[in-house]
Amino acid sequence: MTETIEADVCVMGAGPVGGTLACRLAMAGVRTVVIDRAALPPMEHPAFDGRAYAIAAGVQPLLQEAGLWDQLPQVPGPILDIRVTDGRIGRPASRLHLHFDHRDVGEQAGPFGWMVEARSLRVALNALMPTLPMLRVFAPAETTVERREDGVTVQVAGGPRIACRLVVAAEGRRSPLREQARIPVTHLPYHQTGIVCAVAHERPHHGVALEHFLPAGPFAQLPMAASPDAEAGGAANVSAIVWTDRTQRAETLIALDEPRFNREIGRRLGDHLGAVRVVGRRWHYPLSAMLVHRYVDTRLALAGDAAHGIHPIAGQGLNLGFRDAIALADLVGTAVAAGEDPGSAALLARYQRRRRPDNMLMLTMTDGLDRLFSTDLRPLRLARDLGIAAVDRAGPLKRLFMRQAMGISRLAR
């Protein structure tokens, strides 16, 4: 006979958002199952590969409460300052700039966030999930899902049947559960490609991140911790690069040999960090925004990339997914502790009310910033440079922007 597992929540997708949510729920005493189509160990990349996540200060407690932060094998690098500039390739940045200093925020004067290597979070998830008594993991696994008004049945192919109250779709942008629920999605193409890599550089970054706006798209340098294996003998000064360019140009850049690729990075970055050289692999992704018309259906909640997609201009995509996880963990944990239904329509409506406005605001902001700054029209360049300088001098407004970047104000309610 087929074994039946009784659970409160089944999370579909063991990536950063789904895996972290599953751990957080299990740590709170919620009976949780997490399922992924892929085997988990091959997701680990033991060698340095150049990919990293910017984890905002406001969502770092989620990783702490999920038991993951202290499991990270690579030390996270703090983001202490953020410098925002405007310019053109190969020319000095405008003298009108915006500088955020974490010490100016006020009482919560910690870092804006941390740079965490992607492999580090994956290793931590894979190490922690099998050890949690309230969590069952099935990966790789194919499933069929039946959602009803009174509950959910998830059948693992060749394995047990899971009876639960709520299923969470954390399967990424092409979520099968979202498609099954026929939830409408609107896509906004940018005709841009994001290039992701890491560089070693001569001079220390002192925890300062750079967001440099260029006509073809933003170029970001994000401070990472020293790496023992980014290159032979280790690298003391390492930064992540997130570089947006028009797709046709990006394809040419990706195909460059290493010396020319390094020079192109230097033309955009400037010389304040000295000579730079790529370490690890180069990655590239087509960029688009995605508006999901609702986040819930019968016994179903969407989270992470299954629920939203934004331009990487502010580095907030994963953080939005983690904030989804914070909201779900709070609502579900409270319901289970009170003996209430964690998949009720009322709870799901509260989740959508809590998360959709925040995600919509971030989509609107990032879309507007990309359209405003990805142009070389002189009147617009002058207007935005003056705007940058004005914000730099406006104390209360500047602190508001800093708190938003840290993800503090969104989580206060």
User: What is the distance between the alpha carbons of residues 154 and 4, in angstroms, rounded to a whole number?
Assistant: 10
**Around Cβ 207, how many Cβ atoms within 10 Å?**
18
Contact between residue 366 and residue 314 where contact means Cβ atoms under 8 Å apart = yes
Span 4-46+119-186+289-375 CATH architecture: 3-Layer(bba) Sandwich (3.50)
pLDDT at 43: 67
Contact between residue 267 and residue 232 where contact means Cβ atoms under 8 Å apart = no
pLDDT at 308: 97
User: What is the distance between the alpha carbons of residues 306 and 304, in angstroms, rounded to a whole number?
Assistant: 5
Burial status of residue 263 (CB atoms within 10 A of its CB: 0-12, 13-18, 19 or more)? exposed
Question: Rounded mean pLDDT of 128-137?
Answer: 97
Look up residue 95 and give its amino acid. R
**Around Cβ 358, how many Cβ atoms within 10 Å?**
18
Please give the share of the chain, as a percent, with pLDDT higher than 90: 75
Contacts of 307 (CB under 8 A, 6+ apart): 292, 295, 321, 324, 355, 359
User: What is the distance between the alpha carbons of residues 221 and 209, in angstroms, rounded to a whole number?
Assistant: 6
Instruction: Assign 3-class secondary structure to the chain.
Output: CCCEEECCEEEECCCHHHHHHHHHHHHCCCCEEEECCCCCHHHCCCCCCCCEEEEECCCHHHHHHCCCHHHCCCCCEEECEEEEEECCCCCCCCCCCEEEEHHHCCCCCCCCEEEEEHHHHHHHHHHHHHHCCCEEEECCCCEEEEEECCEEEEEECCCCEEEECEEEECCCCCCHHHHHCCCCEEEEEEEEEEEEEEEEECCCCCCEEEEEEECCEEEEEEEECCECCCCCCCECCEEEEEEEEEHHHHHHHHCCCHHHHHHHHHHHHCCCCCCEEEEEEEEEEEEEEEEECCCEECCEEECHHHCEECCHHHCCHHHHHHHHHHHHHHHHHHHHHCCCCCCCHHHHHHHHHHHHHHHHHHHHHHHHHHHHHCCCCHHHHHHHHHHHHHHHHCHHHHHHHHHHHHCHHHHCC
pLDDT at 85: 86
- Cα 328 from chain centroid? 17
Question: Rounded mean pLDDT of 48-62?
Answer: 95
Domain ranges of the chain: 4-46+119-186+289-375
Tokens of 105: 């925020």
Question: Rounded mean pLDDT of 110-114?
Answer: 92
pLDDT at 316: 87
| Per-residue pLDDT reduced to its tens digit, 365-374 | 888 777 777 7
User: What is the distance between the alpha carbons of residues 105 and 110, in angstroms, rounded to a whole number?
Assistant: 9
**Around Cβ 389, how many Cβ atoms within 10 Å?**
15
The radius of gyration of the chain from alpha carbons, rounded to an integer in Å, stands at: 22
pLDDT at 410: 47
DSSP strand pairing (77-79 vs 52-56): unpaired
pLDDT category, 141, cuts 50, 70, 90?
very high
Whether the CA torsion 349, 354, 355, 358 is positive or negative: it is positive
Side-chain-side CA neighbours of residue 100 (13 Å): 32
Tokens of 363: 């989509």
The answer, yes or no, to whether residue 411 has pLDDT greater than 60, is no
Contacts of 244 (CB under 8 A, 6+ apart): 192, 193, 194, 195, 216, 217, 218, 219, 287, 311, 312, 313, 370
User: What is the distance between the alpha carbons of residues 33 and 47, in angstroms, rounded to a whole number?
Assistant: 29
Q: Considering the entire predicted model, what is its pTM?
A: 0.92
The answer, yes or no, to whether residue 94 has pLDDT greater than 50, is yes
The answer, yes or no, to whether residue 234 has pLDDT greater than 90, is yes
pLDDT at 413: 37
Q: In terms of pLDDT, which residue wins out, 110 or 197? A: 197
